[in-house]
Amino acid sequence: MLEAMLGEGKPLTLYGAIRLPKETDRTLPLSLWQRPWERQDAPGIHLRAPLGIDFNAGGQLLFTQAALRIYSPPSTDWQAQNGTFTPMNGYVGRLSIPSANIEVDLSADLEWGVPRAFLYARCEGVTLGKLTQLADLAGTSAISSVLPEPLRAAADALDRLELMDVSLNLRMKNLTPTVEGLTFTVGMPGLVWKVWEDQIVVRNIACRFEVRGTAPQSSLAVTLMGTIEIEGVPISVMARSAGGFSLYAKLEGEQTIPLEKLMKTYAPGVPPPSDLTVKTLTPARSSRTSTARERRRPRSWPTACARA
């Protein structure tokens, strides 16, 4: 993508800083999706070359301050002790979202000879008053319309939301960067979804909205993420609008579900087996009932052993 953006023989002005490590330095490792140039305090060679390319990213969205970034660790010995810092080339840019009156800085790895780029921004401390403030990202102000029907009014009534991340899929078309799609994730503190009365309640909800195309011809979908508890065991769940909001649940590591309590609650009178260590739980939700299928590994049954 960089080759197409630069054209034939277009010169770049490259500048930056060289930061040498000190014996007293303790450099924290990079987190997931974080790139070295986002840590200007980190030792190494930090270079930047403005690309001079601004473009409309759909509707009122504007992408500016595009630049090539280059990072190299200060030495192989330092890199061996700080394994998350490796030589890296990439893009950066700033996305303006007028409806929310905010700007986010995005970053992407550079892939040579490939006419596309995936730019990502992890947002920290970006709060919103209403979901409609993200209308420029979504291509519509009716963002809640893609949520499960019981959540729409409640989501619109929330007065504190958190923008967690934003991503752009760019592709070169006729030597012009074009947005093929974007996603943004919104945390919704206080929102709960009663999937099955008070038996299955989704809490800690975040919604990842996916926009395909650009406004005004864009389409919007959503993936809802959260947690439920079954007899005190926390389980991560996900549901997509494209799948009719059937739930997919995943345990974070192996968990033991107390089947005796579970059977007394949901099937009284049926003798329970021993507790099970469950790895994957897949609930399916319809408009009338909810069922669940489990792929599970039973705990060892107790046996008596004797030595001669």
With bands split at pLDDT 50, 70 and 90, how would you rate the model's confidence at 292?
A: very low
Whether residue 68 contacts residue 89, with contact meaning beta carbons closer than 8 Å, is answered with yes
Q: What's CA 212's distance to the chain center, in Å?
A: 16
**In this predicted structure, which of 24-28, 95-99, 200-204, 288-292 has the lowest mean pLDDT?**
288-292
Predicted structure pTM score: 0.80
Whether residue 264 contacts residue 258, with contact meaning beta carbons closer than 8 Å, is answered with no
Whether residue 206 contacts residue 188, with contact meaning beta carbons closer than 8 Å, is answered with yes
Residue 19, pLDDT above cutoff 70: yes
Whether residue 186 contacts residue 207, with contact meaning beta carbons closer than 8 Å, is answered with yes
Residue 302, pLDDT above cutoff 50: no
**In this predicted structure, which of 68-82, 246-260, 269-283 has the lowest mean pLDDT?**
269-283
Q: Where are the domains of the chain?
A: 2-8+31-245, 246-299
pLDDT of the residue at 113 = 77
Whether residue 71 contacts residue 44, with contact meaning beta carbons closer than 8 Å, is answered with yes
pLDDT tens-digit readout, 227-236: 988 777 888 8
Residue 304, pLDDT above cutoff 50: no
User: Which is higher by pLDDT, 59 or 9?
Assistant: 59
Tokens of 76: 């192989």
Q: What is the DSSP letter of 40?
A: T
Q: How far apart are CA 299 and CA 220, in angstroms?
A: 44
Residue 307, pLDDT above cutoff 50: no
pLDDT of the residue at 6 = 61
